[in-house]
């Protein structure tokens, strides 16, 4: 209940600032919200929302499925990390968005290039944080589990995995804002569906209430993705809440 109240107060503050900034070009919040409510009753908005949600969710799944196992292996295996970390260090600072023309050439102008661009950016964040989380495991924890007869796979599952998983979900949660921002960029051209296309199409036709319909929809999508990452972390890292309760009791 308190969390909902904080959300409502934050939303009220945003609407108040919006109202103060409204003018001839920027519509007041009530006008934009009315346009958004009207759009919710139609099929066109939901078609754009579904296209954007499909792309960004596919990118999240793809980035996590590829980057998390690799980051976990690099953090748990110093020899593997020694071979792969130079490649990560050299390529991580490169702004991945500049590679979009390359992906368009390789994958075409359809969904594959858009999903690939988002997954590439998120994948690096998940890879680096997962690797760092696994590397932070103290050797005595590995030795204590190994002394009980555990093999490499069990050590990986019972020591390194619980240590790295929260870091990966943190990267995913923080990356949702980046994912939505990149989604807007890749949907602003070479497509006729998606919230990014809706925003740019309305902006080009000076239909500002419709433009804010797309902006509000994309903001809602970002919030839903953030809460999804939170829910996944709570489900797969339930031991963290039990540990916190044990420490406070």
Mean pLDDT of the chain: 88
DSSP state of 237: T
Confirm whether 26 is domain-assigned.
no
By residue range, what is the domain housing residue 180? 45-248
pLDDT for the residue numbered 37:
92
pLDDT for residue 18 is more than 90: no
pLDDT for the residue numbered 51:
95
Full-model pTM:
0.86
List CB contacts of 184: < 8 A, sequence separation 6 or more: 195, 196, 199, 218
Lowest mean pLDDT among 21-30, 95-104, 114-123: 21-30
CATH of the domain at 111: 1.10.3720.10
Confirm whether 88 is domain-assigned.
yes
Percent of the chain's residues with pLDDT above 90: 54
Confirm whether 103 is domain-assigned.
yes
> 181-199 as b/e, with b when 16 or more CB fall inside 10 Å?
ebbbebbeeebebbbbbbb
Confirm whether 21 is domain-assigned.
no
Residue with the bigger pLDDT between 225 and 6: it is 225
The model's confidence at residue 249, banded by pLDDT at 50, 70 and 90, is very low
Q: What is the rounded distance in angstroms from the CA atom of residue 188 to the CA atom of residue 174?
A: 23
Confirm whether 126 is domain-assigned.
yes
Q: Under a CB-based contact definition with an 8 Å cutoff, are residues 174 and 125 in contact?
A: yes
Q: Under a CB-based contact definition with an 8 Å cutoff, are residues 200 and 219 in contact?
A: no
pLDDT for residue 248 is more than 90: no
The model's confidence at residue 29, banded by pLDDT at 50, 70 and 90, is confident
Q: Which of 88, 62, 84 is nearest to 172 (CA)?
A: 62
Instruction: Count up the domains in the chain and report the number.
Output: 1
pLDDT for the residue numbered 21:
81
Positive or negative, the CA dihedral 218, 221, 225, 227 is positive
pLDDT for residue 59 is more than 60: yes
Confirm whether 4 is domain-assigned.
no
**Average pLDDT estimate for 186-203:** 91
Q: What is the rounded distance in angstroms from the CA atom of residue 132 to the CA atom of residue 216?
A: 35
pLDDT for residue 70 is more than 50: yes
Q: Under a CB-based contact definition with an 8 Å cutoff, are residues 87 and 127 in contact?
A: no
3-state secondary structure 37-74: HHHHCCHHHHHHHHHHHHHHHHHHHHHHHHHHHHHHHH
Q: What is the rounded distance in angstroms from the CA atom of residue 227 to the CA atom of residue 133?
A: 22
Residue with the bigger pLDDT between 248 and 139: it is 139
């Amino acid at each position: 209940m308190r969390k909902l109240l904080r959300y409502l107060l934050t939303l009220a503050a945003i609407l108040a600032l919006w109202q103060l900034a409204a003018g001839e070009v920027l519509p007041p919040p009530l006008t934009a919200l009315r346009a958004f409510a009207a759009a919710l009753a139609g099929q066109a908005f939901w078609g754009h929302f579904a296209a954007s949600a499909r792309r960004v969710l596919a990118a999240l799944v793809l980035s996590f499925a590829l980057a998390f196992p690799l980051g976990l292996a690099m953090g748990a295996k110093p020899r593997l990390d020694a071979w792969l970390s130079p490649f990560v260090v050299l390529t991580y600072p490169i702004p991945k968005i500049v590679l979009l023309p390359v992906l368009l050439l390789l994958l075409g102008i359809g969904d594959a290039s858009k999903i690939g661009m988002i997954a590439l950016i998120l994948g690096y964040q998940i890879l680096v944080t997962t690797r760092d989380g696994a590397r932070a495991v103290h050797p005595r924890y590995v030795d204590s589990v190994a002394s009980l007869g555990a093999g490499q796979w069990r050590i990986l599952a019972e020591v390194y995995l619980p240590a790295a998983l929260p870091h990966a979900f943190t990267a995913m949660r923080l990356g949702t804002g980046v994912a939505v921002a990149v989604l807007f960029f890749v949907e602003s051209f070479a497509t006729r569906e998606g919230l990014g296309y809706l925003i740019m199409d309305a902006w080009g036709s000076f239909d500002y209430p419709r433009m804010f319909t797309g902006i509000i929809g994309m903001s809602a999508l970002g919030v839903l993705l953030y809460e999804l990452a939170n829910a996944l972390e709570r489900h797969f890292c339930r031991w963290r809440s039990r540990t916190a309760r044990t420490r406070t009791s």
